[in-house]
Amino acid sequence: MQIGLVGKPSSGKSSFFKASTMIDVPIADYPFTTIEPNVGMGYVISECVCQKYKVKCNPKNSICVDGKRYVPVKLIDVAGLVPDAHLGKGLGNKFLDDLRQASCLIHIVDMSGKTDAEGKTTTGYDPCNDISFLTREIDLWFAGIIEKGFSKYKTKMRLSKVDLVDILTNQLTGLGIKKREIQETLDKVGIDDIEKFATELRSVSKPIIIAANKIDLVDSEENLKKMKKEFPDLTIIPTCAAAEIALKSAKDKGVIEYKDNSFSIKDESKMDSKQKDGLKFIEENVLKKYGSTGIQECLNKAVFEVLDYIVVYPVADINKLTDKKKNVLPDAHLVKNGTTLKEFAFAIHSDIGEKFIGGLEAKTKRKLGADYPLKNDDVIEILFQKR
């Protein structure tokens, strides 16, 4: 699972990245601080099934903290995008190719109105404008890729009448797009207008959610109200990346306890008055006002709501809930809701998929067939022919 962080320069993409991964990357208040992409692991969090089964787990591909399973997701923080990037403005839009495999994009918007469309300092800028121009730039990047492939195949298609869906599927696998998504988009809008096709295909294959960032600053609250009104269909989550970094850093230094979206001071002697004031400000203007810094909520919403993924725990023995090395509930996998058992078997390993026989479910000990649609928190054993 990969998630791309996009937005204009200085909106807080690298801050969001650092807040999610705690990887130290350059963050600064001038445009184009980031040129080469930052790649790292963030997490989505769901209740671990160890509680339901009353066992102590030893996770391998994920982590369990206080009964919560942290499942890794890859985050990619790229350079800032400006209006007319598709014409080469700013750093252009070529760098977006690093996001080809992303399942979803989080658009980090500076809600304060203190940076213009190019990320330069200003006052009274309307952040709603960012949603319009950035979505268009993303769609034009998509259109560019489709167009390149499509023109290559145009003549070939006329000659051999090769199935259009297959050609496009082949061309667009690099974008992580599925045949079904192409079929649906073709049925809906056709391909006479490539830009229209690209816009539609992008919205089904790489949905964008909005991190309404810098929510701690003066005009952000008003701008958030306006944005929600103007874009009622978008998922908009107020965030404060700077606060999440401050809280996690203070926690790492042992200064505070930070859990469940609130904190308590552990060791006052390790803090100066500036840090105390900073934490007080965050408590009043972010945590109490919005319930959280929004960073984790953004990742969870993207994966579990917008992309509609579920968590599944494969094991080698449904009675002991272990893998072959006796690890209890070792792996938590993110899969799209509706994925069948056999599809999942292939996703784990093509060999397991090819030798697939069936499955067993831990709670009911029921036998499962190839077409069984996986449910959230399923613990399953896949049965396959062993040599």
Ligand X SMILES: Nc1nc2c(ncn2[C@@H]2O[C@H](COP(=O)(O)OP(=O)(O)OP(=O)(O)O)[C@@H](O)[C@H]2O)c(=O)[nH]1
Q: Does 21 bind ligand X (CB under 6 A)?
A: no
With binding defined as CB under 6 A, does residue 130 bind ligand X? no
Q: Can residue 296 be called a binding residue for Mg ion (CB under 5 A)?
A: no
For residue 73, state whether it binds ligand X (rule: CB under 6 A).
no
Cβ nearer to Mg ion, comparing 102 with 307: 102
Establish if 20 lies at the interface with ligand X (CB under 6 A). no
With b meaning 16 or more CB within 10 Å and e meaning fewer, what string describes 157-182?
eeeeeeeeeebbbebbeebebeeebb
Based on the shown chain and the rule CB under 6 A, indicate whether residue 359 belongs to the binding site for ligand X.
no
* Residue count, binding to ligand X (CB under 6 A): 25
Q: Choose between 11 and 171: whose C-beta lies nearer to ligand X.
A: 11
CB of 34 to ligand X, least distance (A): 3
Residue 41, strand partner residues: 74
The interface region with ligand X, picked from 9-17, 130-138, 176-184, 230-238 by CB under 6 A, is 9-17
Residue 34 interacting with Mg ion (CB under 5 A): yes
- Closest CB to ligand X belongs to which residue? 80
CA distances from 153 to 158, 164, 171, 195 (A): 9, 9, 9, 17
- 3-class SS at 376? coil
Q: Which does 12 bind (CB under 5 to 8 A by kind): Mg ion, ligand X, none?
A: ligand X
C-alpha R_g of the chain: 23
Q: Residue 346 is encoded by which pair of tokens?
A: 């292939």
In angstroms, rounded to a whole number, what is the distance separating the alpha carbons of residues 144 and 265? 52
- For the CB of residue 13, give the shortest distance to Mg ion in the complex, in Å: 5
- Identify which range of 11-19, 45-53, 141-149, 273-281 contacts ligand X by CB under 6 A: 11-19
Stretch that binds ligand X, among 13-21, 181-189, 198-206, 329-337 (CB under 6 A): 13-21
- Cα 180 to Cα 23, 144, 186, 205: the distances in Å are 37, 21, 10, 10
How many angstroms separate the CA atoms of 265 and 92, rounded? Answer: 45
CB 127, CB 113: distance < 8 Å:
yes
Distance (Å, rounded) from C-alpha 177 to C-alpha 171?
10
Instruction: Give CA separation, 152 vs 109, 141, 148, 170, 185, in Å.
Output: 37, 17, 7, 12, 20
Dihedral (CA of 271, 244, 333, 314) sign: positive
Residue 34 or 115 with smaller CB distance to Mg ion:
34
Binds ligand X by CB under 6 A, chosen from 6, 15, 48, 57 = 15
Site string for ligand X, 193-222 (x = CB under 6 A): --------------------xx-xx-----
Interacting residues with Mg ion between 9 and 28 (CB under 5 A)? 13-14
Q: Which runs of consecutive H residues, i.e. helices, occur in 9-95?
A: 13-21
Q: Which does 213 bind (CB under 5 to 8 A by kind): Mg ion, ligand X, none?
A: ligand X
20 vs 278: CA distance, rounded Å? 20
- Which of 380, 367, 383 lies closest to 312 in space, CA to CA? 380
Q: Which does 126 bind (CB under 5 to 8 A by kind): ligand X, Mg ion, none?
A: none
292 binds, among ligand X, Mg ion, none (CB under 5 to 8 A by kind): none
Q: Exactly one of 27, 236, 279, 312 binds ligand X (CB under 6 A); which one?
A: 27
Rounded Cα distance, 106 and 73, in Å: 13
Binders of ligand X in range 93-122 (CB under 6 A): 119
Identify whether the C-beta of residue 1 lies closer than 8 Å to the C-beta of residue 74.
Answer: yes
Please report how close the Cβ of residue 322 comes to ligand X at its closest, in angstroms.
42
Contacts made by residues 162-170, CB under 8 angstroms, sequence distance 24+: 164/191
Q: Does 284 bind ligand X (CB under 6 A)?
A: no
Contact residues toward Mg ion (CB under 5 A) are 13-14, 33-34
Contact residues toward ligand X (CB under 6 A) are 7, 9-15, 27-29, 31-34, 79-80, 119, 213-214, 216-217, 240-242
